[in-house]
Amino acid sequence: MTTTKRRTAEVRRELLPADVRRRAVTHLRGCDPVMARVVEQVGPCRMEIDQSSTLFAALSRSILYQQISGLAAAAIHKRLIALCGGHEVHPADILAHSIDELRAVGLSRQKATYMHSLAEHVSAGLSLASVRRVDDEEAIRRLTAVKGVGRWTAEILLMFRLGRLDLLPVADYGIQKAMQKAYGMRSLPRPKRMRRIAAAWSPYRTVACWYLWRFIDGEAAV
């Protein structure tokens, strides 16, 4: 009889390659004096990519982290892992538990429903791996076809799981607040203005966002 070894639930992260970080920082410093000051204040780029073994686990984690603090999300994630046997979450683990059982670890009913929906889609044949082979917008389109996976969730997956370097999640409150503070705005910037400012950061808008998250509160989004 064969057995399948499951990976532990510990999130494994690796720094972006040093040459990529160096090019990104050089570009951001040279293209925008405001971003140059942000880079100077935050310090060296330490952006990491989540090396968890499956995209399902990473996407489930992104759903869990939606619209709550990082500390609260981490506590709920730890309880979810324990419920699933202490290993990385798989579709079968989610489907093996009812919505109420998932809620008992701290998930809202909506998020528990979203995780069930994602698990059902993957179990029915949705290939998350296919997003690796397409451009950013097509990957976002495929991911957001799943109930509960919004654009922000898809963007975070692409940024911090697949290492896509040129994304700007304009719906992210932390990015909005950071831009407001860094650029001396009276109110939160609208998406059109955010994109206009960030155009100069391309092709390293993801790295710029990493800096902005740390600039505003010292914590990454995920």
pLDDT band at 54 (very low <50, low <70, confident <90, very high): confident
pLDDT given at position 71? 83
Percentage of the chain exceeding pLDDT 70:
92
Q: Is the confidence at residue 2, as pLDDT, over 50?
A: no
* Residue 80, number of CB atoms within 10 A of its CB: 23
What residues pair up with 8 in beta bridges, in sequence order?
87
What structural domains does the chain harbor? 13-50+167-217 (1.10.1670.40), 55-160 (1.10.340.30)
Residue 121 token pair: 């889609």
Q: Is the confidence at residue 59, as pLDDT, over 60?
A: yes
How far is the C-alpha of 216 from the C-alpha of 152, rounded, in Å?
A: 19
Written in H, E and C, the secondary structure of the chain is CCCCCCCECCCCEEECCHHHHHHHHHHHHHHCHHHHHHHHHHCCCCCEEECCCCHHHHHHHHHHHCCCCHHHHHHHHHHHHHHCCCECCCHHHHHCCCHHHHHCCCCCHHHHHHHHHHHHHHHCCCCHHHHHHCCHHHHHHHHCCCCCCCHHHHHHHHHHCCCCCCCCCCCCHHHHHHHHHHCCCCCCCCHHHHHHHHHHHCCCHHHHHHHHHHHHHCCCCC
Task: State pLDDT tens for residues 158-213.
Answer: 999 999 999 999 999 999 999 999 999 999 999 999 999 999 999 999 999 999 99
Distance of CA 33 to the CA centre of its chain: 27
Among 9-18, 49-58, 83-92, 206-215, which is the least confidently predicted range?
9-18
